[in-house]
Chains A and B, each alone.
Chain A
Amino acid sequence: MRVPSLVAALVAVPLVLASPVSAQAVDDSVTTFTLANGMKAIVIEDNRAEVVVHMVWYNVGAADEPPGKSGIAHFLEHLMFKGTDDLAPGEFSEVVAAQGGSDNAFTSDDYTGYFQRVASDRLELMMTMEADRMRDLVLDSEDMLTERNVVLEERAQRTDSDPGALFSEMRGAAQYLNHPYRIPIIGWKHEVEKLTLDDALDFYRTYYAPNNATLVVAGDVDPVEVQALAEKYYGPLEPTPGLGPRERPSEPPQLAPRRITFTDGRVSNPYVLRTYLAPERDAGDQTEAAALTLLAAVLGGSSATSIMGRTLEQDEGTALYTSAFYSGLKYDDTTFGLIVVPTPDRTLPEAEADMDRMIARILEDGVDPAQLARIKSQARAASIYDLDSLQGRARQFGAAVTSGLTVQDVLDWPDIIDGVTEDDILAAAKRVFDLNYSVTGYLTKPDPAEATQ
């Protein structure tokens, strides 16, 4: 049984392991083109309903921020709704709503995306407005200050009020010694409080440009018409000259395991969570990432049938919840993680020993062929089920191309997953489970004996 409230309360890391495969090789429904100014486009046809999802993804995220300006990528995302030379503050969303549509935006380490979901005959209006705010943002300092308070409230709500999220920030900072993935996407509070209008505009003028953006249109559309509209609205926009390749500070060899303990009175079910630095999916080279994806599923994908779930939750009854998780969609090195939430009668060192025992078990005993076959059949089915969500498909392609992959990589992924062998999984496990590249974190509550002394 999954207990959603428990899992949500305990695990503040993305558990992107449920769906090891994310797209099917449906080449006839996916087309691409590139505009003369460098803007790329992906069109996904789905004629089941007269709906379209229109997205623009920028190849810029929190990991591209200047030093000392943490949170500027996300803050700018908020400010993008504050008006242009043609649109008053808030008008963008009002126009979308007047069409019955919905709109929003999101920021990650590697990308920033904007989207609208509207009736398919409203696509042109969405392009008009999105093209307008790519180059013509107009910001007012009073709006900026109000919105900065909104972002600080967002941080207070999502991070400072949640011990699991604070723990996750500390762990992330310990995982990366040099790469900016060590900095939280929403930014450190003391830096967000000092972000200025100029910080936002400098970032905007550099990175918000057609040669740094990908258009994704999914739904009841004709790719030829989409291209004509894109040329009309996005085509005239000026690119940013001299935008170099995305190179962030990289990790040195990591020579020592790191350990952290985060103690907070709001914690009710302590847990141990370990992450290891791990390779991400690379264009044309996704085999290692596919093996790690399946390793996570074999080791800790299902509470009933994975090695950790079956042993610790079911047979031994020593854990309330276990999981292994890995997502290869990252521009630079990502992480492979494991979590054990022990039953209340167990200590965290015992839970950590259980975790180590499960890692040792897969390395010694290998992979059960029946389990691997079941995981692969679920992966194949996922590429059918995933076709049901327009927004999900659009996001898969957008996230992939802004994480350094190509459309072909996305289409190839199911076959690569299907071709992974037991040897691939074990070889990947041997490489990734190197403690020198890991952070082991305890999230715990104050000792009641100490508190009463």
Chain B
Amino acid sequence: MIRLICTLVAVLMPLKALAIEIQEVTSPGGITAWLVEEDSIPFTALDIRFSGGANEEPLNQRGVTYLMMGLLEEGSADLDSQGFAEAAETLAARMSFDANNDSVSVGISFLTENRDASIALLRDALTDPTFDQAAVERVRDQVLAGLAAAARDPQEIASKTFAGLSFPGHPYGMPLEGTPETVSGLTIADLRAAHARALTRDQVQVGVTGDITAEELGPLLDTLLGGLPATGDEPAPMVKTMLDGGVTVMDFPSPQSVVLFGQDGIAFEDPDYFAAFVLNHILGGSGFASRLMTEVREKRGLTYGIGTYLAPRDLTNQILGQFSSSNDKAAEAIEIVRTVWKEVSEGGVTQEQLDAAKTYLTGAYPLRFDGNSRIASILVGMQATGLPIDYIIDRNDKIDAVTLEDVRRVAARILKPEALHFVVVGQPEGLTTGSF
């Protein structure tokens, strides 16, 4: 042991400061983007996020935002779906279109030599989509097939059940993709309305990293986004979780049970958020050393993996976790999760665990910033959560400032073993729906 411990002490020195310069670029037309210039590889990654997302759609049109985003690459301006795909292939531009409850997002990576043509192609997709009937029907059939698959997938059944119990009557409580009934009823007019609602300039955040200067980026932003409507809907109101402590078992023929669990969480804006973030890492964060991974996997071999995460969303907050166990072991594993939850809520975190978590979290932070695509996505995420542009400079100080008292206080405040709900999809032995 001696040899390694010596080495360890020798290298436990502070990490160097992040050598990343983020510029705020405002276009002549008034659109703002965050930029990191990096010219060593001749391409640029550009990420765009529009707040609002599928939360803004009517419940009886559930799935319309998801379907709409899937159709943006299916024809625009004077190109049909095949023409659009051929143009993107010729330019070797890589585009992505995604929908979420809180936002919709668009990504593109383009070669420097094809910059203007790539941006023009994406502009047409964003501002002038065709929503051609044949493409709508084809993609609708794909979504319906996806829903049919989800109805027989234990993981999807668990997610849908957990969301439905948490947020009845709210978009968060229904699958993003909709239901067979809502998706079948969507019209082209519904898709156009969803497009006008989701992609507006007042809700946009842009992150750019790569081979482009601030001077070049400004006019490009106007070309790309200037044609979108200026304003969209008002933000939706916050929603409360309707979840009680207990177990919900969904019968499913499988050798294993999929278990999703969770309870109310904490908002990103909360002064205790950083303490909660550190707490979650100790409880069920990444790696093999968390309390839950140690107790459920490493000591007992009851699962291949278990983890928890804080899920602060625009309109609600939860702390969620997940694992899978053989049907004869799921009940035991759930009992251990409840025990760990209780111990940690009652002050069970040690100084040693806190120090290890802080060392990991502060050391891992600078490692996130490798690669244009990763950095562009971080820049958008920072803006989406309202962080200042110099946040990365003192982010680690905020983690380091978390004390054992903070973690214990937050653990007592947030973690409620009696409020923890488990959705179990499988044929678990000795478990039935009900409260503990």
Question: Which residue of the partner chain, among A87, A121, A269, contacts B11 with CB atoms under 8 Å?
Answer: A121
Cα-based distance from A377 to B364 in the complex (angstroms)? 36
Inside 8 A of A313's CB, which chain B residues have their CB? 138
| Chain B residue with Cβ nearest A220 | B370
Is the CB of B149 closer than 8 A to any CB of chain A? yes
Inside 8 A of A95's CB, which chain B residues have their CB? 4, 8
Inside 8 A of A161's CB, which chain B residues have their CB? 154, 254-256, 258, 324
Question: Which residue of the partner chain, among B11, B19, B146, B289, contacts A3 with CB atoms under 8 Å?
Answer: B146
Most chain A CB within a 10 A radius of its CB, from B151, B324, B365 = B324
Which listed segment binds A: B52-60, B89-97, B198-206, B414-422?
A: B89-97
Question: Which residue of the partner chain, among B90, B152, B359, contacts A98 with CB atoms under 8 Å?
Answer: B359
Is the CB of B148 closer than 8 A to any CB of chain A? yes
Majority-rule SS of A interface residues = helix
Question: Which residue of the partner chain, among B12, B19, B289, B324, contacts A153 with CB atoms under 8 Å?
Answer: B324
Is the CB of B398 closer than 8 A to any CB of chain A? no
Given A100-B359, A153-B304, A153-B324, answer yes or no on A48-B145 (Cβ-Cβ < 8 Å): no
Inside 8 A of A101's CB, which chain B residues have their CB? 363-364, 367
Is the CB of A423 closer than 8 A to any CB of chain B? no
Is the CB of A128 closer than 8 A to any CB of chain B? yes
Question: Which residue of the partner chain, among A5, A90, A124, A267, contacts B298 with CB atoms under 8 Å?
Answer: A90
Given A49-B370, A310-B82, answer yes or no on A9-B299 (Cβ-Cβ < 8 Å): no
| Chain B residue with Cβ nearest A302 | B85
Inside 8 A of B73's CB, which chain A residues have their CB? 1
Q: Are B256 and A129 in contact (CB under 8 A)?
A: no
Interface mask (B360-391 → A, CB under 8 Å = 1, otherwise 0): 11111111011111000000000000000000
A51 to chain B, nearest CB (A): 5
A362 to chain B, nearest CB (A): 18
| Chain A residue with Cβ nearest B371 | A388
Is the CB of B74 closer than 8 A to any CB of chain A? yes
Q: Are B356 and A374 in contact (CB under 8 A)?
A: no
B: number of interface residues (CB 8 Å): 84
Given A157-B256, A268-B151, A314-B138, answer yes or no on A384-B367 (Cβ-Cβ < 8 Å): no
Question: Which residue of the partner chain, among A3, A90, A97, A267, contacts B142 with CB atoms under 8 Å?
Answer: A3
Q: Are A1 and B362 in contact (CB under 8 A)?
A: no
Q: Are B365 and A100 in contact (CB under 8 A)?
A: yes
Is the CB of B303 closer than 8 A to any CB of chain A? yes
Interface mask (A315-333 → B, CB under 8 Å = 1, otherwise 0): 0010011000000000000
Cα-based distance from A3 to B141 in the complex (angstroms)? 11
Q: Are B8 and A157 in contact (CB under 8 A)?
A: no
Is the CB of A156 closer than 8 A to any CB of chain B? yes
Is the CB of A50 closer than 8 A to any CB of chain B? yes
Is the CB of A263 closer than 8 A to any CB of chain B? no
Interface mask (B1-40 → A, CB under 8 Å = 1, otherwise 0): 1011001100110011001000000000000000000101
Is the CB of A380 closer than 8 A to any CB of chain B? yes
Inside 8 A of A99's CB, which chain B residues have their CB? 11-12, 359, 363
Question: Which residue of the partner chain, among B7, B38, B89, contacts A374 with CB atoms under 8 Å?
Answer: B89
A311 to chain B, nearest CB (A): 11
Q: Are B360 and A153 in contact (CB under 8 A)?
A: no
Cα-based distance from A341 to B142 in the complex (angstroms)? 10
Q: Are B3 and A86 in contact (CB under 8 A)?
A: yes
Q: Are B81 and A304 in contact (CB under 8 A)?
A: yes
Cα-based distance from A432 to B376 in the complex (angstroms)? 42
Q: Are B301 and A146 in contact (CB under 8 A)?
A: yes
Inside 8 A of A156's CB, which chain B residues have their CB? 255-256, 324, 326
Q: Are B324 and A157 in contact (CB under 8 A)?
A: yes
Interfacial residues of chain A within 338-357, with CB under 8 A of chain B in the complex: 341, 343-344
Inside 8 A of B429's CB, which chain A residues have their CB? none
| Chain B residue with Cβ nearest A266 | B152
| Chain A residue with Cβ nearest B252 | A266
| Chain B residue with Cβ nearest A445 | B152
Q: Are A150 and B364 in contact (CB under 8 A)?
A: no
Is the CB of B41 closer than 8 A to any CB of chain A? yes
Q: Are A146 and B298 in contact (CB under 8 A)?
A: yes
Is the CB of B111 closer than 8 A to any CB of chain A? yes
Q: Are A100 and B364 in contact (CB under 8 A)?
A: yes
A-B contact count (CB 8 A): 227
Q: Are B304 and A154 in contact (CB under 8 A)?
A: yes
Q: Are B177 and A90 in contact (CB under 8 A)?
A: no
Q: Are A50 and B146 in contact (CB under 8 A)?
A: no
Cα-based distance from A265 to B152 in the complex (angstroms)? 8
Interfacial residues of chain A within 362-388, with CB under 8 A of chain B in the complex: 370, 373-375, 377-378, 380-382, 384-385, 387-388
Q: Are A100 and B367 in contact (CB under 8 A)?
A: yes
Is the CB of A93 closer than 8 A to any CB of chain B? yes
Inside 8 A of A384's CB, which chain B residues have their CB? 41-43, 111
Inside 8 A of A370's CB, which chain B residues have their CB? 86
B365 to chain A, nearest CB (A): 7
Q: Are B149 and A268 in contact (CB under 8 A)?
A: yes
Is the CB of A6 closer than 8 A to any CB of chain B? yes
Inside 8 A of B367's CB, which chain A residues have their CB? 49, 51, 100-102, 117-119
Is the CB of B275 closer than 8 A to any CB of chain A? no
Q: Are A378 and B92 in contact (CB under 8 A)?
A: yes
Interfacial residues of chain B within 108-140, with CB under 8 A of chain A in the complex: 109, 111, 137-139
Q: Are A93 and B287 in contact (CB under 8 A)?
A: yes
| Chain A residue with Cβ nearest B360 | A97
Question: Which residue of the partner chain, among A5, A48, A117, contacts B177 with CB atoms under 8 Å?
Answer: A5
Inside 8 A of B141's CB, which chain A residues have their CB? 320, 343
Inside 8 A of B317's CB, which chain A residues have their CB? none
Is the CB of A149 closer than 8 A to any CB of chain B? yes
Q: Are A160 and B256 in contact (CB under 8 A)?
A: yes
B296 to chain A, nearest CB (A): 10
Is the CB of B143 closer than 8 A to any CB of chain A? yes
Interfacial residues of chain A within 117-169, with CB under 8 A of chain B in the complex: 117-119, 121-122, 124-125, 128-129, 132, 145-150, 152-154, 156-158, 160-161
Is the CB of A94 closer than 8 A to any CB of chain B? yes
| Chain A residue with Cβ nearest B139 | A1
Is the CB of A429 closer than 8 A to any CB of chain B? no
Is the CB of A389 closer than 8 A to any CB of chain B? yes
Inside 8 A of B111's CB, which chain A residues have their CB? 381, 384
| Chain B residue with Cβ nearest A379 | B92
A131 to chain B, nearest CB (A): 11
Interface mask (A24-59 → B, CB under 8 Å = 1, otherwise 0): 000000000000000000000000111100000000
Most chain B CB within a 10 A radius of its CB, from A88, A98, A382 = A98
Q: Are A97 and B289 in contact (CB under 8 A)?
A: yes
Inside 8 A of A374's CB, which chain B residues have their CB? 86, 89-90
Is the CB of A417 closer than 8 A to any CB of chain B? no
Is the CB of A390 closer than 8 A to any CB of chain B? yes
B418 to chain A, nearest CB (A): 28
Cα-based distance from A50 to B248 in the complex (angstroms)? 47
Inside 8 A of B369's CB, which chain A residues have their CB? 49
Inside 8 A of B65's CB, which chain A residues have their CB? none
Given A100-B364, A156-B256, answer yes or no on A128-B7 (Cβ-Cβ < 8 Å): yes
Name 5 A/B residue pairs within 8 A (Cβ), A-sorted.
Answer: A81-B288, A98-B8, A100-B364, A265-B253, A305-B86
- 3 smallest CB-CB distances across A and B, nearest first, come from A100-B363, A149-B301, A381-B92
What would 16 more interface pairs be, CB under 8 Å, given A3-B145, A98-B363, A314-B81?
A: A87-B1, A90-B298, A100-B365, A100-B367, A121-B11, A121-B16, A125-B11, A129-B4, A146-B300, A153-B303, A161-B255, A304-B81, A304-B85, A378-B89, A384-B43, A387-B41
